[in-house]
């Protein structure tokens, strides 16, 4: 397939994986450590719902926005089993598993159109559905039924409701393997209930959802005949990807816009530590940062800046967007313009704060900032458990980065996880369960029908698949793309290289479905 000159497809070169953020320091003087992200004894807490007369499906619920405007999907609930892999008495307990449907474009005759299924990741499923306009854009030409399935970690689908994160006894059911089995059971049952058993299924996912989509295709090829995995860092484990690659990429995004911008950010961390070493200094810094309450630790201020710069690099989209926050087009460039606009000799802390304010307050409606103790707007707290069990992504910060240098210690990670959850992380589990080492040689022998899309402005891309593996396992890489940019709705201002990337994805998926339908017809 011919690639646009602006695409790096097929050559060597992720939601919310949630971007790694520094953990809060235990004392004012301790430099924050940097963690990867930003995934019972009894069953009575399960929030079960009665199954409808059509099997395990509950009645649909009309979805609407806060102002009453109808959303382009309806919410449904499936009675899902708690544990797919054991046959203990607790295993067959049910919980309400949320999914969203849009059948506006679905072709039912003469043969059923495909099911396009989004693999939910770390957040409420509505959040991802409303930020995956690509699926809605392409559904008409395929006659596709759109399905968005929530991850059992998050939103309304937590098996034990608000008690799901209470202890390791309940958290233990929250694994990627259980989530993939949830998806397989729900999709299979949905196709049966819709009398569309032979309809092809293509799964989609961005970031952690993209990891799940690619793994689902490998684990359940009889359920899904293809997968589009966008910004999926499935190689961000063990020693497959250099540990410093994520923060080196964030730093390069800023350095490519302005060396002065990069240098200001690199200098701010030591100044925060120095000024925040006294109560008087913390009070002054709290005023500079317009904190709603006086900040107790300088690490909280570092975290606040760190998050802004990291997330902005991830979502450095070429058009305005509100995926994480309301941001302008090319927000990294805009942040650096703010820093570069200060006169020579201006305070470095004030420069960094002004730039980070673009992330937190681009709309200008924030009177103060919750630097400490703010609520997570997307309900992503379950990721801490995932990062302490199976999603162990070693990350370091190199001397070349604009962030303070730091290392990674499995022992420290293990002790922190045990203190939080009384569990130890399994460093090698993901690659044992799904593979990763020598993935090109392994998947070339048996895998098929996967698109790995990545944008090199996205720091997660360094842990993604950046080369074609075979004629049907394709890498589409854009030099200026950001975190699952291709999944966003098309706009009139999209650069040509984004349009071309999406066109290639559609063409490849058409080929998969045509081949599948020919096979079904022959049968």
DSSP state of 239: T
Length of the chain: 523
The first and second tokens of residue 395, run together, are 């990350």
Residues 430, 458 contacting (CB under 8 angstroms)? no
Q: Could you give the 3-state DSSP secondary structure of residue 404?
A: coil
Neighbouring residues of 101: CB distance < 8 A, sequence distance ≥ 6: 60, 73, 74, 76, 145, 146, 147
Structure token pair of residue 60 = 């649909």
Query: Token pair of 333, please?
Result: 């460039």
| Angle of the 245-257 helix axis to the 259-275 helix axis, nearest 10 | 120
HSE toward the beta carbon, residue 134, CA cutoff 13 A = 24
Residue 359's DSSP bridge partners are none
Alpha helices in 376-455 (DSSP H): 383-387, 410-421, 429-434, 439-446
Catalytic residues: 207, 458, 483
| Cα gap 458→393, rounded to integer Å | 16
Question: Three-state SS across 138-169?
Answer: HHHHHCCEEEEECCCCCHHHCCCHHHCCCCHH
Q: Which residues contact 515 (CB under 8 A, 6 or more apart)?
A: none
């Amino acid at each position: 397939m011919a690639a646009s000159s602006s695409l790096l497809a097929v050559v060597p070169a992720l939601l919310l994986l949630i971007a790694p953020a520094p953990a809060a320091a235990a004392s004012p003087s301790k430099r924050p450590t940097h963690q990867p992200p930003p995934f019972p004894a009894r069953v009575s807490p399960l929030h079960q719902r009665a199954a409808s007369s059509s099997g395990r499906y509950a009645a649909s619920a009309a979805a609407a926005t806060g102002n009453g405007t109808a959303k382009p999907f309806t919410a449904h609930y499936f009675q899902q089993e708690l544990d797919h892999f054991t046959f203990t008495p607790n295993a067959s307990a049910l919980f309400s598993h949320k999914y969203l449907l849009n059948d506006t474009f679905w072709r039912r005759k003469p043969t059923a159109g495909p099911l396009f299924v989004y693999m939910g990741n770390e957040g409420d499923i509505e959040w991802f559905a409303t930020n995956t306009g690509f699926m809605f854009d392409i559904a008409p030409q395929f006659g596709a039924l759109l399905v968005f399935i929530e991850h059992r970690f998050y939103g309304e689908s937590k098996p034990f409701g608000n008690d799901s994160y209470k202890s390791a006894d309940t958290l233990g059911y929250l694994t990627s393997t259980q989530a993939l089995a949830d998806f397989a059971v729900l999709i299979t049952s949905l196709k049966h209930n819709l009398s569309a058993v032979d309809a092809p299924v293509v799964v989609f996912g961005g970031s952690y959802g993209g990891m799940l989509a690619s793994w689902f295709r490998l684990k359940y090829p009889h359920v899904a005949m293809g997968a589009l995995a966008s910004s999926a860092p499935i190689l961000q484990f063990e020693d497959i990807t250099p540990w410093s690659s994520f923060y080196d990429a964030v730093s390069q995004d800023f350095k490519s816009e302005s060396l002065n911008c990069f240098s200001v950010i690199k200098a701010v961390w030591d100044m925060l530590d120095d000024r925040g070493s006294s109560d008087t200094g913390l009070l002054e810094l709290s005023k500079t940062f317009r904190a709603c309450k006086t900040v107790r630790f300088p690490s909280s201020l570092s975290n606040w800046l760190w998050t802004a710069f990291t997330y902005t690099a991830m979502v450095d989209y070429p058009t305005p967007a509100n995926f994480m926050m309301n941001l302008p087009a090319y927000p990294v460039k805009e942040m650096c313009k703010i820093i570069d606009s200060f006169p020579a000799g201006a305070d470095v802390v004030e420069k960094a704060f002004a730039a980070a304010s673009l992330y937190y307050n681009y709309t200008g409606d924030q009177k103060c900032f919750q630097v400490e103790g703010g609520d997570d707007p997307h309900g992503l707290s379950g990721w801490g458990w995932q990062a302490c069990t199976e999603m162990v992504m070693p990350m370091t910060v190199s001397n070349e980065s604009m962030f303070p240098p730091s290392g990674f210690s499995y022992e420290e990670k293990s002790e922190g996880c045990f203190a939080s959850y009384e569990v130890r992380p399994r460093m090698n589990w993901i690659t044992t369960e799904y593979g990763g080492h020598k993935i090109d040689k392994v998947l070339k022998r048996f895998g098929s029908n996967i698109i790995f899309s990545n944008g090199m402005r996205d720091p997660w891309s360094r842990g993604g698949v950046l080369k074609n593996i075979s004629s049907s396992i394709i890498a589409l890489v854009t030099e200026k793309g950001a975190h699952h940019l291709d999944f966003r709705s098309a706009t009139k201002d999209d650069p040509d290289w984004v349009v071309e990337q999406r066109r290639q994805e559609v063409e490849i998926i058409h080929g998969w479905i045509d081949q599948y339908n020919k096979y079904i017809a022959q049968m």
